Amino acid sequence: MDLGPHAGFIVTAYAAAIGIVAGLIFWVILDRRHLTRAVDELEAQGITRRSDRAREEKA
Amino acid sequence: MTALAALLMRDLRLAVRVGGGAPIGVLFFLIVVTLVPFAIGPDLNLLARIGPAILWLGALLANLLALDRLIAMDHEDGSLDLILMARAPLELALAAKALAHWLSTGLPLVIATPLLGLLLNLDPTATGAVALTLIAGTPALTFIGLIGAALTTALRRGGLLLAVLVLPLTIPVLIFGVAAANAAIVGPVPFGTPFSILCALTLMSIVVGPFAAAAALRQGLE
Amino acid sequence: MALIDLANPSRFLALADRVLPWLAAATLFAFALGLGQAYVAPDDYQQGATVKIMFIHVPSAWLGMFAWGIMSLAAVGTLVWRHPLADVAAKAAAPVGAAFTLMCLVTGSLWGRPMWGTYWVWDARLTSVLVLFLMYLGVIALWRTIDDPARAARVVAVLTLVGAINVPIIKFSVEWWNTLHQSASVLRLDGSTIHPAILGPLVVMIVAFTLLFLSLHLAAMRNEITRRRLRTMLMMRADAAAGH
């Protein structure tokens, strides 16, 4: 596809957009992984929240 | 004396005492304006051209630095709790404090402007124009700063955050203040156009500022 | 399920887990469609192929303002109803909105260089979008500075509503002032002025970007709820260690 004389700007703009979106997606995914791992660690140590405990007692 | 007048007088008296903000604010204004020719060089024509902008920036920064004593000091010594519990509406009490703050820190900046105009090679018309725009615009800076001060009241190291929050909100005031001063000096836009917008910004901030600040205080100190 | 039911974080998490895969799939499909259409879209007679930057610049500008609108709605929810999900929605939206505003500034700058000859100009629209970006950073800073999440949410809500005045200023800046940035050509009272061959892909890309925002926002809200649970559990552990 011929992008004309300003092809560099078009490609850079799309690359920047892809980079920013990728950054956002990585942030969300990595944050989730870190948080769930920390929560699982604490639960393994026996610390549970009140509502989780209530659910366990009901079960 | 009504409660609000008493609050106004108290703040004024505190500001002019040793440890108050008033003399230091003017001193900072002087220092900032003195720094600029060192950075730019002594080209008098250039200084005269950007003089209004330098004075406005100096006034903005001096105003900003004095903001953290607007509410935080009362919070530290407990008078803020008294103000919150008083019968006078919090919005009016904050407006009184902001008025006192402007009288003690904003107005001296305006009075210092002619002297600093000399340092920047501004002629009398230009200096007068800048002073007029500063009188019209510094209340806006104070009342917008009131919002930032209220938002960061309970934070221990809120100083820089206060600046980060307040400066974007003061950009329109800066734009129209300098535009009005330049319009009076070189034209071609008539002075009235940016100046009336500047006055409108000030009037709006005098209303919105106390309400937003009161809301921020109530929400932040619960 | 009424909005008040969603105030229960566990129920919200369950809903989010169910909805998110579909939202992500819809986003991918919309982008595939949009990018395909953008690829075959004709060149502008004046701008040539650089008009294709519009397909990412306009949606990101829309999202920058849309995100602040979401934050403002959430702010009202926090201040008026104390809806706990409003806090989470507001906090999750800020970084995403800031990222898209940055994308708007960067793509706009790269579009401006070949078209206007300059990477930046201090006209009304560019300045107000830059101010919007600075305000996003201020909001994020304020979130991180106040320890208690509930108090932070309320204080940030006030700041968000004060800053909301900037959004209509951005939208109407090209009408009120003489700007280098072109005036409105999509959302106008008397219809769009863009040729359908370019307007079509633009609308699809706007939809795709909006779906992307909703997916990211939902995922970030899920993370934020988990982060608050983690904080509660850490405080319980500290309590246990202190012998309570």
Query: In this model, does residue C205 exceed pLDDT 70?
Result: yes
> d(Cα B72, Cα C148) in Å, to the nearest integer?
19
Q: Cα–Cα distances in Å, from B89 out to A53, B74, B95, B148?
A: 46, 17, 10, 19
Would an 8 Å CB–CB cutoff place C134 in contact with chain B? yes
Average pLDDT over residues C75-96: 93
Q: What are the backbone dihedrals phi and psi of residue A6, each rounded to the nearest 5 degrees, phi first?
A: -105, 30
> d(Cα B15, Cα C40) in Å, to the nearest integer?
67
From the list B155, B167, B219, the residue facing C145 with the nearest CB is B155
- What H or E segment, with its residue span, contains residue B150? helix B124-151
The ipTM (two decimal places) reads: 0.87
Amino acid B54 reads: I
Residue A32 to residue C219, Cβ atoms within 8 A: yes
Query: In this model, does residue B127 exceed pLDDT 80?
Result: yes
End-to-end CA distance of chain C: 39
Give chain C's radius of gyration (CA, Å). Answer: 20
Contacts within 8 Å (CB) and 24+ apart, B74-82: B75/B153, B75/B154, B75/B221, B80/B153, B80/B217, B80/B221
Average pLDDT over residues C83-108: 95
pTM: 0.88
CB A1 within 8 A of CB C36: no
Residue, of C177 and B129, whose pLDDT is higher: B129
Give residue for tokens 């499909």: C29
Nearest CA in chain B to C137: B164
Average pLDDT over residues B39-48: 86
Residue, of A51 and C121, whose pLDDT is higher: C121
Q: How many CA atoms lie within 13 A of C85 on its CB side?
A: 17
From the list B161, B168, B171, the residue facing C145 with the nearest CB is B161
Q: Which residues of A touch C113 (CB under 8 A)?
A: 9
Q: What angle do CA C187, C191, C196 make, to 5 degrees?
A: 95
Q: Cα–Cα distances in Å, from A17 out to A21, C30, C134?
A: 6, 16, 19
Would an 8 Å CB–CB cutoff place B204 in contact with chain C? no
Give chain A's radius of gyration (CA, Å). Answer: 23
> d(Cα B20, Cα B34) in Å, to the nearest integer?
23
Query: In this model, does residue C120 exceed pLDDT 60?
Result: yes
Report how many helices (DSSP H) and strands (DSSP E) chain C contains, helices first. 7, 0
Instruction: Give per-residue pLDDT as tens, B178-202.
Output: 999 998 888 788 888 899 999 999 9
CA distance to partner chain A, nearest, from residue C49 (Å): 5
Query: In this model, does residue C35 exceed pLDDT 80?
Result: yes
Instruction: Give per-residue pLDDT as tens, C3-24.
Output: 666 778 888 899 999 999 999 9
> d(Cα B194, Cα B205) in Å, to the nearest integer?
16
Query: In this model, does residue A43 exceed pLDDT 60?
Result: yes
**Contacts for B65 with CB less than 8 Å, ≥ 6 apart:** B25, B28
- What H or E segment, with its residue span, contains residue C48? none
Average pLDDT over residues C76-83: 91
Report how many helices (DSSP H) and strands (DSSP E) chain A contains, helices first. 2, 0
Q: Which residues of A touch C107 (CB under 8 A)?
A: 13, 16-17
Q: What is the mean pLDDT of chain B?
A: 89
Q: C44 forms bridges with which residues in the sheet? A: C48
Question: What three-state secondary structure class fits C44?
Answer: strand
